[in-house]
Amino acid sequence: MENMQDKTIRELAKNCQTVEDVHNLLKNLFKDTLQTIFEAEMDSHLGYEKHSVEGNNTGNSRNGFSKKAIKTKFGQTELKIPRDRNGEFKPQIIKKYETTSNQLEEQIIAMYAKGMSTRDIEDHMKDIYGIDVSATMVSKVTDKILPMIAGWQSRPLDRVYPVVFLDAIHFKVRKDNRIVNKAAYSVLGINMTGQKEVLGIWIGENESASFWLGVCNDLKHRGVEDILIACKDNLSGFSEAINTVFPRTEIQLCVIHQIRNSLKYVSYKEQKELLADLKNVYQALTIGEAELAFAAFKEKWGKKHPIIIRSWENNWIELTAFFKYPHEIRRMIYTTNVIEGYHRQLRKITKTKTSYPTDESLVKIVYLATVEASKKWTMPMREWKTCISQFAIYFEDRLGSEMAI
């Protein structure tokens, strides 16, 4: 026996000859449904149904309609919003001043999160839904996530992070009618269960000890009491800042970045030989072997490349911090590959934009891209149980009851 839903669909479909007819039918159904909901909301607000004698002498009554145009996935729709004489009625399904449906806003934010440009979003909405969506509207819709970003950036953090990685990814942002380079400085932590977690993102033009001091204090104010190991690129001023706020934190400078910086001063024909000699240094089994290998490296290359030698000597303590740990921890901390992988995911989404009009627009896309990237972080770091067992021995007094194996 044909059920009511099937019968209704058959009746509605009688006059549909094209896909456009179906679209128009759905648009009208959507409009009629909203109008019915408005009337039900007004009934609830007044306490009696339309034309009911119960409304006599209640002090309030219906007072016609006001027109409102909203954009939905079915196209632009004209609605009649009921009014009451006291001006107290506020529809809930379409809030006052709203001009788009929540579902449409969610689609705009989803497209923005995928890195689609404003022009792409405009074209998509026009082609698929027949809706004109301006750059201003996209900006206003995506601005609704700013409170979420503020909440995320100030959320409480864990008391201890065994490892954090720090790095920067650079973008072009408009400022005072010119384009400037700005960096999104990221702090990615490995928590006690071995899971990756972006602790925060800070936008800035220049690195300095005072900038990083602000970042470290921010982490401390949000509940971080201790960081065991901080892994970084050669970020200016960071070591001084973290030693001030977290004085017991060990710092590991990314060896791969140091090697890349060293190769900038070497001709192409010499690079292979010099790199092989450097491998003897950073792939040594012990710090003693590394020191002997570096002495040999200095003897061979010192006169020809004194800048390289000086750089390794100046950074030696932070470059070789990983030698005190076993292989599983060494592999994780001697390079900032963990956070660079996260930044590669950001680049996939942001590569379509040559520049950003404001810091806020940059923050929005980086935050949305971070949310998307973190959805894939479902597994702990490789061999984490072995790593955390070793951390428990090296940092026994600092992990306390939060030890998780």
Q: Kindly give the pairing relationship between strand 178-190 and strand 160-175.
A: antiparallel
The pLDDT tens digits of the residues spanning 208-227 come to 788 899 999 999 999 999 99
Q: Report the alpha-carbon distance of residue 358 to residue 216 in Å, rounded.
A: 25
pLDDT given for residue 298 in this prediction: 95
Adjacency order of strands within the sheet including 250-253: 196-204, 178-190, 160-175, 226-232, 250-253
Residue the block writes with tokens 């990314």: 254
Look at residues 251, 263, 368 and name the one whose alpha carbon lies nearest to residue 319: 251
Instruction: Spell out a b/e string for 82-101, using b for 16 or more CB atoms within 10 Å of the CB, else e.
Output: bebeeeebebeebeeeeebb
SS3 for 273? Answer: helix
At residue 4, does pLDDT exceed 60?
Answer: no
Burial category of 75 from C-beta neighbours within 10 Å (exposed 0-12, middle 13-18, buried 19 and up): middle
Distance CA 16, CA 28 (A): 13
- Under 8 Å CB-to-CB from 225, ≥6 apart: which residues? 159, 160
Average pLDDT (373-386) is 92
Of the candidate ranges 15-29, 232-246, 338-352, the one whose mean pLDDT is the lowest: 15-29
The Cα 254–Cα 335 span in angstroms is 4
Q: What is the DSSP secondary structure assignment for residue 381, as one 8-state letter?
A: P
Phi, psi (5° rounding) for residue 345?
A: -65, -35
pLDDT in tens, 224-277: 999 999 999 888 888 999 999 999 999 999 999 999 999 998 999 999 999 999
Euclidean distance between CA atoms 48 and 59, whole angstroms? 12
For residue 84, the cross-strand partners are 62
Q: What is the mean pLDDT of the chain?
A: 82
Residue with more model confidence, 366 or 103 = 366
Q: Considering only CA atoms, which of 156, 182, 188 is closest in space to residue 170? A: 182
Identify the helix (H) or strand (E) that includes residue 37. helix 19-46
* pLDDT for 357 beyond 60: yes
Stated length of the chain:
405
Unique residue bearing structure tokens 């007094």: 397
pLDDT above 70: percentage of residues in the chain: 79
Question: Which of these, 30, 169, 51, lies nearest to 104 by C-alpha position?
Answer: 30
Say which residue the tokens 């401390």 belong to. Answer: 220
